[in-house]
């Protein structure tokens, strides 16, 4: 408004033959850099009206006067277009900021400390305004000292992709607590994506996913994928290989069958999970991208996982990326044989007493006398129920890790449930007692039966979780 008033004053004071009136053409251009589209349009219209009113007594040819009027009107239109472009850019910037903030909040803020793995991660958003996507990763502690590594990539960009990523991460965490196999978990996730697509046909969801479970007791790695880039394993001698997975489409297609692959990993093996944004497949050949990644992983000068992350990103091209990137590295650890005790039982009524004796001796060896009373109660209840309701073979295992883990495995898949016993009931209190003594407990099913596991916190004088695993 100040510019319009100044220009109007200059036009009023200037002689009619002067061309100061054309100063009004600058008003909508200046307004477009500050005001909204509506305000810019109003100022442009006022500029045109003021110019016409102040030059209604023309001292020049009609065609020249019309050209000047058209020039002022044209500048007004250009100012409105600039204001529209600036508003559109602001909306895109706000949408990108919201999507990026949402995605960063939905990604894990801190990785859990687990004795089975040491981890490092990186996330890099895309450089384009619409590039905020749904790349994500997670580390999920499981029963028995095992840990799950997850990485995924949601198809699309923007707030919707970030929101879908949050829903998938929550679903994976929930399903991981059921201790199902990676292929079963992917099957449930695929059903979820299919249902989401049926609920909203206009926006068919799609996502790739790689789910991996590492067992530090036996050093096994079981994984399954759905259309995701392959994992990379770097052995302690520096060799890198990319294990093959069965070819499967991304999540969201009904009828897809997933399969597990199992690998034995040496202690100190580095597992690399990543999204396709790291390979930059739109501008680089896939084989060349995998070769660059393998060279960065095998670099002998990388003294830690953090150094390895920096070298992996440093080996990538510097040109702008139109896809975000997630990277998760994990260095495996193995539990020492002194941390694990395993016994086979004969499914005999006397097994409960035998188990109490074995557990007591082992806890004294581990200097865990404070847990003898609670652990013998737990073991007695678990073994007693197994002998009563299950069949051989029966295996009892104790693991000293970040917690004290007690596991009883049998050949029956039926799982027990906690129930509240009545005042005069003679049974039904065993699992309730276990739930009160343990920090957490559960059941995981496998091909040959089930395993009931119970975790207890270690006494405060016991060394921390990282000290219990071999380095």
- What is residue 186's predicted lDDT score, i.e. its pLDDT? 95
For the whole model, what pTM was predicted? 0.76
pLDDT over 90 percentage in the chain: 33
For residue 157, the 8-state DSSP code is: -
Half-sphere exposure of 136 (CA within 13 A, CB side): 32
Answer whether 107-332 and 337-468 agree in fold.
Answer: no
- What is residue 224's predicted lDDT score, i.e. its pLDDT? 95
Given a cut of 90, whether residue 322 has pLDDT beyond it is: no
Given a cut of 80, whether residue 147 has pLDDT beyond it is: yes
Given a cut of 90, whether residue 32 has pLDDT beyond it is: no
Given a cut of 80, whether residue 385 has pLDDT beyond it is: yes
DSSP for 179-220, written as a single string: T--HHHHHHHHHHHHHHHHHH-TTS---EEEEEEEEETTTTE
What is the residue-averaged pLDDT of the chain? Answer: 81
Q: What is the pLDDT of residues 407-436, one digit of tens each?
A: 999 888 877 766 665 544 455 567 778 888
CB 212 within 8 A of CB 161: no
Nearest 5°: phi and psi at 262?
-120, 140
Confidence grade of residue 397 (pLDDT, cut at 50, 70, 90): very high
* Average pLDDT over every residue of 222-247: 92
Half-sphere exposure of 293 (CA within 13 A, CB side): 28
Residue of 46, 9, 19 whose CA lies nearest to 31:
46
Q: Which fold has domain 107-332?
A: Phosphatase 2c; domain 1 (3.60.40)
- What is residue 225's predicted lDDT score, i.e. its pLDDT? 94
Domain formed by 337-468, architecture: 2-Layer Sandwich (3.30)
Where are the chain's structural domains? 2-98, 107-332, 337-468
- The larger pLDDT score, comparing residue 5 to residue 433, is at 433
Most confident of 192-206, 225-239, 436-450: 225-239
3-state secondary structure of 115: coil
Confidence grade of residue 217 (pLDDT, cut at 50, 70, 90): very high
Whole-angstrom CA distances from 91 to 86, 95, 96, 129 are: 9, 6, 9, 10
CA dihedral of 162, 168, 174, 176, whole degrees rounded to 10: -120
- The larger pLDDT score, comparing residue 49 to residue 152, is at 152
- What is residue 285's predicted lDDT score, i.e. its pLDDT? 73
* Average pLDDT over every residue of 9-27: 59
Give the burial string for 243-264 (b: 16+ CB within 10 Å, else e). Answer: eebeebebbbeeebebebbebe
């Amino acid at each position: 408004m100040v510019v319009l008033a100044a220009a109007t004053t200059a036009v009023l004071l200037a002689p009619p033959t002067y061309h100061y009136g054309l100063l009004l053409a600058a008003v909508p251009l200046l307004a477009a850099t500050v005001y909204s589209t509506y305000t810019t349009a109003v100022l442009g219209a006022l500029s045109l009206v003021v110019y016409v009113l102040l030059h209604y007594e023309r001292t020049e040819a009609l065609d020249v006067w019309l050209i000047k009027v058209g020039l002022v009107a044209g500048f007004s239109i250009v100012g409105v277009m600039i204001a529209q472009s600036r508003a559109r850019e602001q909306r895109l910037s706000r949408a990108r900021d919201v999507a990026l903030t949402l995605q960063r909040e939905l990604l894990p803020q801190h990785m859990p400390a687990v004795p089975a793995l040491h981890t490092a991660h990186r996330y890099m958003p895309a450089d384009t305004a619409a590039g905020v996507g749904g790349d994500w990763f997670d580390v999920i502690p499981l029963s028995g000292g095992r840990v799950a590594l997850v990485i995924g990539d949601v198809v699309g960009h923007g707030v919707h992709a970030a929101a879908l990523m949050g829903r998938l991460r929550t679903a994976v965490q929930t399903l991981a607590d059921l201790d199902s196999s990676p292929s079963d978990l992917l099957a449930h996730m695929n059903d979820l994506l299919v249902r989401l697509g049926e609920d909203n046909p206009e926006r068919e969801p799609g996502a790739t996913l790689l789910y991996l479970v590492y067992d530090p007791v036996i050093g096994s790695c079981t994984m399954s994928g759905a259309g995701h880039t392959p994992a990379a394993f770097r052995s302690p001698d520096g060799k890198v290989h990319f294990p093959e997975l069965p070819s499967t489409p991304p999540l969201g297609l009904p009828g897809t069958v997933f399969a597990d692959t199992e690998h034995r990993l040496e202690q100190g093996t580095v597992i690399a999970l990543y999204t396709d944004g790291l390979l930059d497949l739109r501008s680089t050949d896939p084989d060349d991208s995998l070769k660059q990644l393998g060279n960065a992983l095998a670099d002998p000068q990388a003294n830690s996982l953090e150094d390895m992350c920096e070298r992996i990103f440093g080996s990538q091209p510097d040109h702008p990326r139109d896809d975000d990137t997630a990277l998760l590295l994990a260095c495996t650890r193995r539990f020492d044989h002194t941390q694990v005790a395993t016994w086979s039982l004969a499914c005999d009524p006397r097994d409960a007493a035998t188990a109490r004796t074995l557990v007591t001796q082992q806890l004294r060896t581990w200097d865990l006398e404070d847990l003898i009373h609670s652990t013998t109660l737990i073991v007695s209840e678990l073994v007693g129920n197994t002998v009563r309701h299950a069949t051989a073979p029966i295996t009892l295992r104790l693991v000293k890790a970040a917690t004290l883990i007690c596991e009883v495995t049998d050949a029956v898949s039926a799982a027990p449930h906690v129930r509240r016993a009545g005042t005069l009931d003679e049974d039904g209190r065993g699992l309730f007692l276990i739930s009160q003594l343990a920090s957490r407990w559960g059941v995981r099913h496998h091909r040959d039966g089930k395993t009931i596991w119970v975790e207890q916190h270690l006494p405060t004088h016991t060394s921390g979780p990282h000290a219990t695993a071999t380095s």
